[in-house]
């Protein structure tokens, strides 16, 4: 389920991994709207955390 983009596959792979982790843990993707969760994930993964809509699109 890994998609490759023209700008590089690393962000898309991260988005897919976040999606898979949330789904397997039964966490709703809308929880990514929570700023505290987004800040935590960004801080410790050093990745830009995607919006819920971005994950759904990809």
Residue 7's pLDDT band (boundaries 50, 70, 90)?
low
Closest of 34, 40, 36 to residue 51, by C-alpha:
34
DSSP string, 17-43: HHHHHHHHTT--GGGGG-HHHHHHHHH
Assigned domain for 5 exists: no
pLDDT at 30 > cutoff 80: yes
pLDDT at 1: 43
Print the domain residue range for 26.
10-57
Whole-structure pTM value: 0.72
Number of structural domains in the chain = 1
In a domain, 25, yes or no: yes
Which tokens belong to 47? 């990745």
For residue 36, what pLDDT is reported?
A: 97
For range 28-38, the mean pLDDT = 95
Q: Is 13 helix (H, G, I), strand (E, B) or coil?
A: helix
In sequence order, what are the residues at sequence separation of 6 or more whose Cβ sits closer than 8 angstroms to the Cβ of residue 36? none
- Higher-pLDDT residue of 7 and 53 is 53
Residue 28 forms part of a structural domain: yes
3 within domain boundaries: no
Q: Does residue 17 belong to any structural domain of this protein?
A: yes
Instruction: Specify if 1 maps to a domain.
Output: no
Structural domain contains residue 21: yes
């Amino acid at each position: 389920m890994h998609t490759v983009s023209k700008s590089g596959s690393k962000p898309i792979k991260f988005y897919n991994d976040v999606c898979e982790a949330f789904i397997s843990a039964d966490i709703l993707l809308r929880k990514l709207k929570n700023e505290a969760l987004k800040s935590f994930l960004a801080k410790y993964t050093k990745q830009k955390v995607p919006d819920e809509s971005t994950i759904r699109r990809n």
